[in-house]
Amino acid sequence: MNNMPQLPDAFVQQLLPILREESGAFFASYLNDPLRGIRFRGERIPLPASELTGKIPYAKNAYYLAPDSKAGMLPFHDAGAYYIQEPSAMAAAAVLQPQAGDRVLDLCAAPGGKSTQLAMSASLGLLVANEPIPSRAQILSGNIERMGIRNAVVTAAYPQQLAEKWPRFFDRILVDAPCSGEGMFRRHPETIAEWSADAPEICHHRQVEILDAAAKMLRAGGYMVYSTCTFNWTENEQSVSSFLQTHPNFRLSPFAIHGLPPSTDGTLRLWPHKFPGEGHFVALLHKEDVLPEERDACLLNEPVFAPDKQSAAVFSAFAKEMGADITANMQRGNRLFAMPAAMPPLSGIKTLRTGLHLAELRGKNLFPDHAFALSVAMSKKWAIHPDLAAAYLHGDTLNCPESLRGYYAIDYCGFQLGFGKASNGQMKNHYPKGLRY
């Protein structure tokens, strides 16, 4: 059990009219330990059952994680076997419900929990994960790579900049807006000192601006989710109301998601005293197709330059050797990629990741990219026992059988950690230097 934190009086006073008779139960919830959740990449669960305390019903392959679990420190985490995420934060992507083939934008995406959930909830045509702050965008890009997502573009731009480039391009958009973060008080008590009485109003104006930019990028007939991890009315209902007043072609859309209370008005509050998690607000907005010329998504496409014959042949031979079912469909300089079929124009936009980076060609030599190992199953693998996993993640050269030659996917308990290259009884380590520990 936690000690009761000293909550700002202004925070308490703003919630009393909202909570009413439930205020006692809400504030008493701060005595409970915060909850963690985990989403597995597939059906396989590489953790002991004792570390999982129940299923999260509204997210695919998701569970509540035991408080003492060290899952984030295991090699399975580095292999992208799972993503650790606050449970109620998974509600926003669940409500958006992307469909197969959809072009989806996560506009305020760092660190990547909701982006990776969206990518794994359906076979998307394209996922654009955007984060304006470059340092946070780097973390986002790293998580997209770690979770083996092939069809994502990661950008670092402000919403209005993207809106000017990509009008009516997306089928669904998630706006997990920057907020005053009141839902983080229990999990990260240090954020209490960063909160101020005027923070909700300041955040509100920024949230409405972000929603306005997102509206321009959504095709008519498309859906948009607005979410926050805060509790006050100003950043939640008022931000939605302010947006709707200036966007008459949008409507709140009721929804019913398995494991969540049904929403008859298109909004949902997940309170920590009523729901396992730290709390979230979610609103589902529908853009009506009032203008015939806007009914279809705007067809914008970034030029994709196919690999030259020699590069294509070299990569094809390498993929065949590795037993990897993947084709390079784009070449940029000496780098080869597998790109989504639908790509927005990226000129003038800071872009950190485009599709799946497969390899780099240096003369006649091919150097596979780490993202390739995390995303594509391979049959040419070298299995290492748990004692060697720490050495590999540290960047050490490993001893291996003399018979091994060339590149191998390094296999840890059935999950690929990265690449190694064998020669003369040694496996040269190709785990990226920036990830080693």
d(CA 420, CA 398): 9
The sign one gets for the Cα dihedral 199, 204, 210, 214 is: positive
Banded model confidence at residue 281, pLDDT cuts 50, 70, 90? very high
Which residue has 């590795």 as its token pair?
A: 322
Contact 200, 13 (CB under 8 A): no
> In this model, does residue 301 exceed pLDDT 80?
no
> In this model, does residue 134 exceed pLDDT 90?
yes
d(CA 53, CA 47): 12
Catalytic residues: 229
β-bridge pairing 152-155 and 126-130: parallel
Banded model confidence at residue 2, pLDDT cuts 50, 70, 90? confident
The tens digit of pLDDT for each residue in 420-429 reads 999 999 999 9
CA dihedral 68, 71, 73, 74 (to 10 degrees): 140
Class of domain 9-293: alpha beta
Banded model confidence at residue 162, pLDDT cuts 50, 70, 90? very high
Residue 173's nearest CA partner among 133, 231, 114 is 114
Banded model confidence at residue 305, pLDDT cuts 50, 70, 90? confident
pLDDT reported for residue 291? 60
d(CA 389, CA 398): 10
User: Percentage of residues in the chain with pLDDT exceeding 90?
Assistant: 93
User: Percentage of residues in the chain with pLDDT exceeding 70?
Assistant: 97
> In this model, does residue 298 exceed pLDDT 90?
no
Residue burial 108-131, b: 16+ Cβ < 10 Å; e: rest: bbbbbbbbbbbbbbbebbbbbbbb
pLDDT reported for residue 364? 85
**What mean pLDDT, rounded, does the chain reach?**
95
Residues of the chain with CATH 2.30.130.60: 380-437
Contact 170, 217 (CB under 8 A): yes
Average pLDDT over residues 124-133: 97
Average pLDDT over residues 139-160: 98
Q: Where are the beta strands (DSSP E) in 43-81?
A: 52-55, 62-65
Q: Show the tokens assigned to 255.
A: 């929804």
Banded model confidence at residue 5, pLDDT cuts 50, 70, 90? confident
> In this model, does residue 295 exceed pLDDT 60?
no
Residue 181's nearest CA partner among 167, 193, 164, 168 is 193
H or E, element range at 362: strand 356-362
Q: Where are the beta strands (DSSP E) in 136-279?
A: 152-155, 170-176, 218-228, 250-252, 267-270
> In this model, does residue 297 exceed pLDDT 90?
no
> In this model, does residue 410 exceed pLDDT 80?
yes
The tens digit of pLDDT for each residue in 218-239 reads 999 999 999 999 999 999 999 9
> In this model, does residue 55 exceed pLDDT 80?
yes
Banded model confidence at residue 83, pLDDT cuts 50, 70, 90? very high
Residues of the chain with CATH 3.40.50.150: 9-293
Average pLDDT over residues 411-418: 97
pLDDT reported for residue 78? 98
Average pLDDT over residues 157-182: 97
Banded model confidence at residue 296, pLDDT cuts 50, 70, 90? low
The tens digit of pLDDT for each residue in 187-216 reads 999 999 999 999 999 999 999 999 999 999
| pTM confidence score | 0.95
pLDDT reported for residue 292? 59
Contact 116, 144 (CB under 8 A): yes
Q: What is the DSSP letter of 255?
A: B
Sorted by sequence, the CB contacts under 8 Å of residue 344 that are 6+ apart come out as 126, 128, 153, 165, 166, 169, 300, 301, 302
pLDDT reported for residue 341? 83
Q: Show the tokens assigned to 37.
A: 């959740």
The structural architecture, per CATH, of the domain 380-437 is Roll (2.30)
The tens digit of pLDDT for each residue in 332-371 reads 999 999 999 888 999 999 999 999 999 999 988 999 999 9
Rounded to 10 deg, the angle between the 237-246 and 199-217 helix axes is: 40
> In this model, does residue 299 exceed pLDDT 70?
no
